[in-house]
Structure 1
Amino acid sequence: MTVVAVVAVIVPLLLQSGKKPAPAAAHDVAVYKDQLDEVSRDLDSGLIDSAEAEATRAEIARRLLRASEAEAKAQPSQRSRMPWAAAAAAIVLVPIVSVALYLAVGSPGIPDQPLSARAPATSPHGGDVARLLEGAEAYLKDNPSDGTAWSLVAPVYLRVNRPSDAATAFGKAIELLGSNAQLQIGLGESIVAREGGKVVEDAKAAFRRALEHEANAVEPRFFLAVALNQEGSFKEAAAAWEAFLKTTDPREPWVRFARSELEKAQKGAGLPVKMPDVAAAPEVTAPQQPAPQAPAGGEATAPAAPGPSAEDVAAAQQMNTEDRQAMINDMVSRLAERLETDGGSADDWIRLMRAYMVLDKKDEARQAAAKAIAAHGGDAAARARIEQAAGGLGIPL
């Protein structure tokens, strides 16, 4: 590295030292020669007569003669000694100073530490996510008004069990980008996670705002029903769970938890225990992840779709690398299949794009972005959000 630094310094200096400075007289000679040519052109074109041309040529010739004499007297090459002195100083002093400083303040006895070994060893989420968050935090420190950046980093905070930071990030994104269903859902889920599964008032307010944007959104209805059970409003909770189960896909993994909560609400309200007909036989036959179970006290866990739930993330942390990767790939595949078949909002497509980038599937992310833009081609606002998100994720369009 020292040699490279020295070469970078001395090569330009040596090249500079070999150049001859052009005397000012050489410039004058060239100008006068051009003027003589111009006089000839003016004479040929009839702009001046022969007498004027001769007089003008005589004057220019006198000036040209003086400039030629001055050029001849100038030193042909006067190379400055300064570049050579600087080069010598660089060759001698840079290595000496560098080695002296390193021996004084460095640690030459410490062995090399590869970059891969510098990631936090205790992090269950891996060094890549840690470095991603460090880069995002550094960027947001300098660009706190970038709402898209806040919206991209917020779900990552939630997935790595930093719910307070996630809630802050979702709140910033909503403040800067405006409210939408997915941001409000993320805010509500972050608050629930921060409160240890308790659906507090701030979380309920976020879920209600999400329903104002998307009346049939799964997560807000799920959490608001959980809140009713937690508050002891069992009659209202039973009605909420019945409505939820009638309108949700019975194959989804959270259905078992929803049915358990419905049974609890029915018993608490003194009602007969009865499951809705639509969900009467959802002991799922298709391969699914284990359904979320209600933790002690009935605290809520997030539904698994369209993205992984808090339960899924906790379970994933207990798996080995291969099983965890397989579970994540399965979740992303199901989201992609649903969007391909049934379509989805711009936020759903952005979530899929983000998931592909986290999995380092850049081609799939680019294809998802193209499909998202095609699906929302008639909605200028949605298309702009998708393109903005793609740019923030580094997905070429």
Structure 2
Amino acid sequence: MMFWITLLLLIGLTASALIHAFVRTRGADPKENKDLSIYLNQLAELDRDLERGVVDPADAERSRVEISRRILAADESESRRAADAPRTLTNWAIASTILAVAASSLGLYAWQGSGGLPDLPREMRLAQSEDLRRARLPQQQMEDAAAERPPLPLSEEDADLMEQLRAAVASRPDDLRGLELLAFYEARLGNFIPARVAQERLVDLKSAAGTVQSEDRERLWQLMQQAAGGRVSPELEARARAQFEADPRDPAARYYLGLLYAQTDRSDLAFQLWRPLVDQDGARVYADLVRQGIERIAFEAGVDYTLPPQSQTDALEDLPPGEQMEAITAMVNSLADRLATEGGPPEDWARLIASYGVLGQTETASAVWTEAQQVFGEDEAALSLVRDGAIRAGLLE
């Protein structure tokens, strides 16, 4: 109610200011009338001449009477001109102004505003957001509530292979390779719940053995979100928050925690978590996801924010072909130097091998592939990712 009272008062004040501009007389201030201004100046000049003794007092009095008569005549003429203004037209202009101000103000608010929202202090809004976060269903119930997707059609042969894979994993629940394959193919079929179950088992086993990789965690988090219908469950939040506390720069943890806050009416916290991802090195996938919605999140948070230009990789399209090749070569060399000195995830090794293949440097690509096999040893999941790069480079079939 207080909002609407304030809005009506503002409309009334605006309309009053406009009405005043219509009805005020032009002769209210003598300085606004040219003739009156001249006569007043003549009176002042006559008084100064009289003080200096350059004019006879009798002549000065006669001049004063004449100037006063002209002032009265000019003032009467100005008043008559103001009174002769078309009063009906003025009244219509006043009424139209009031209606236009009220209609445009209320119409604009009806279009862009949220009149149905109650007046909420900031503390109450924060409390409601916290209630939303606490009231979320557990992962299992979110999965039960999510709309089921129709399974993808499979040939009889492929269906038999999937049944064999499921049976094999059921008989050997600790087989890491079997769990990895089951999670991968179930997800490809759109069966996100069994994919999530298999990936969660894989991550738990690897975590106990101390061999879990960031890619394993991120794949699990993605499947948890997909199985829950796009929502961030309390279980997913707990995993992402633990990783964020261990490494605040972790892009996956930042993304999922930001998504949680975006879903629970805390756009301010979501923006704080997402903004570094746009420029953070190594967060390309999450940066692309964030770029799709960060400007809306910033607007909801009351932040004036414009997305910066995309990375230099995306800017290559605007370069001439010759300069594109030079830029690509420089980027590949920079990636190779970083992997040689600092190491990196298997995705970067795969990208480097594939890039050498694109540049036609097959021997160099082969050498990097050999080195990658030594770096990742018997980590089949990592080697599988690197192997994709070798295939793209034409080293493997």
Question: Which has the larger share of helix?
Answer: 2
TM value normalised by structure 2:
0.41
Structure whose CA Rg is larger? 2
